[in-house]
Chain A
């Protein structure tokens, strides 16, 4: 937690591969009766980065996280944290902080008492309770019953519970669900500052805009299977659609591009969609003396990449 983000990345590079990966999921399968929620899923989460866990509803994200946290039993395969099954960790709350559903509270218990119970069970000093309450800005509501909390406050309490043991890893399952824009911004800033402090974040979400603003890497699953694991930058680059070109001599330019082996097509009068970077098109046009009135890279988004990767095949 005290390392800077840069230092963490540096140390991760020096460490052996097994230590660089804080979460490892290996050939994990989870079957509910006849349905496979997770199907031979394998991926790893690197230390010191924010990794988004993406997939459509029902893709198996929550099931995977629950197996990882020892709350669900795998049918086969395994999921480990820091090289151990969750139940085998010496001090689980000091290793992993988990934020699951915001409804996991006894409504008649106060926020402070909820945390005291967890701290006692995990052998964490009681003073830590007030520290984390302050950290999530819930000190003023600490002695109110959780039943009277708003959804946003309960989500903050979940985060406080996750922080009790000062873990190096936060695992969050759809933490932005039901939060208002202010709550989402608070959560984003909080997770970013946690990661900036050297922590690792593994966050599941189907709010793609959130992940694209927050995560360094993404793991995408669909129907329980791994679809992609790469950096957000790689993924958005993959979704890039090409370059939009407008020229008064569009037809001539298209012919020159095709001669150079570049694919493209006219989309409207004087406008071309070209499968090449703007630099190359600009150079070719300049060499041919063809004027350009517009040359715009068609940047892709994580959402486009996600939809493309998880699209159902057409019959």
Chain B
């Protein structure tokens, strides 16, 4: 519990989260504006469009995987991992605290992303003389965003523990999201099980699969949990079985 509280303190005593939050906010304003602006009045009234619009908060999952990885790799980059392991020498305990801390942080971030998405969407709809129809159907992606972000944060922590180099980890994540997922989608029919697709399915939060590339929400959550377990187990073993470098990358 002490290590967990220390992880939360680490997260809130630098401006990393602030910059990520502001970046996400700016990105949401941009993509929501483009998305809403590209629909006519009729299209905006459709509940499926509104549900899709409110699902844009799911972009928080991308930020979440980056934050999760930085929770580990930033400590290696700055060398603070040395003092962290001096204070909490059982490595698995420290990494578990990092996992829990990252999940809490991205939970808050995703909730804020949902709130910002709702606010921006309401403003746009109001500006175009319409209003959102808020019910369990249109609001389901809000829960999906929170769930996907928490899973993404966990995957990020595991990946960060495996690679441990900050720049390399961020590049690997972005390459995977920008290229890897597309390649898998193009070459086979199992893309729905790829991490990005699975988390996208969690955000979409459909009870039943709506296309070949998407899973229903609960199978998607299960796939996401499997990824978290795999990445974290491998990452934790990698950290436990190696020396702590005396300098960062």
Contacts and interface: CB of A to CB of B under 8 A. Distances in A.
B247 interface: yes
Interface in B231-248: 241-244, 246-247
B85 A106 contact: no
Interface of B: 2-3, 5-6, 9-10, 13-16, 74, 78-80, 82-90, 241-244, 246-247
Nearest to B1: A123
Interface in A97-122: 98, 100-101, 103-110, 113, 116-118, 120-122
A243 interface: no
Contacts of A71: 82, 85-86, 243-244, 246
A70 B243 CA distance: 9
A100 B86 CA distance: 11
Nearest to A108: B14
A239 B215 CA distance: 78
B87 A122 contact: yes
B6 A121 contact: yes
Interface residues of A, number: 33
Interface in A258-304: none
A62 B88 CA distance: 20
Given A92-B87, A116-B9, 19 more contacts: A70-B89, A71-B82, A92-B89, A100-B246, A101-B82, A101-B246, A103-B79, A104-B78, A104-B82, A106-B78, A106-B80, A108-B15, A108-B16, A116-B13, A117-B13, A118-B6, A118-B83, A120-B2, A121-B3
A71 B242 CA distance: 9
Contact of A101 (B2, B79, B89, B243): B79
Given A71-B243, A117-B10, A87 B89 contact: yes
Interface in A226-250: none
Contact of A72 (B13, B74, B90, B243): B243
Contacts of B74: 106
Contact of B247 (A101, A120, A123): A101
Nearest to B243: A72
A73 B80 CA distance: 18
Contacts of B83: 100, 104, 118, 161
A92 B14 contact: no
Contacts of A82: none
A69 B86 CA distance: 7
A224 B86 CA distance: 24
A109 B9 CA distance: 11
Contacts of B5: 120-121
5 contacts: A69-B86, A70-B86, A73-B241, A109-B14, A123-B2
Contacts of B244: 66, 71-72
A100 B89 contact: no
B85 A121 contact: no
B9 A120 contact: yes
Residue among A69, A101, A117, A161 with the highest chain B CB neighbour number at 10 A: A117
A187 interface: no
A86 interface: yes
Contacts of A104: 78-80, 82-83
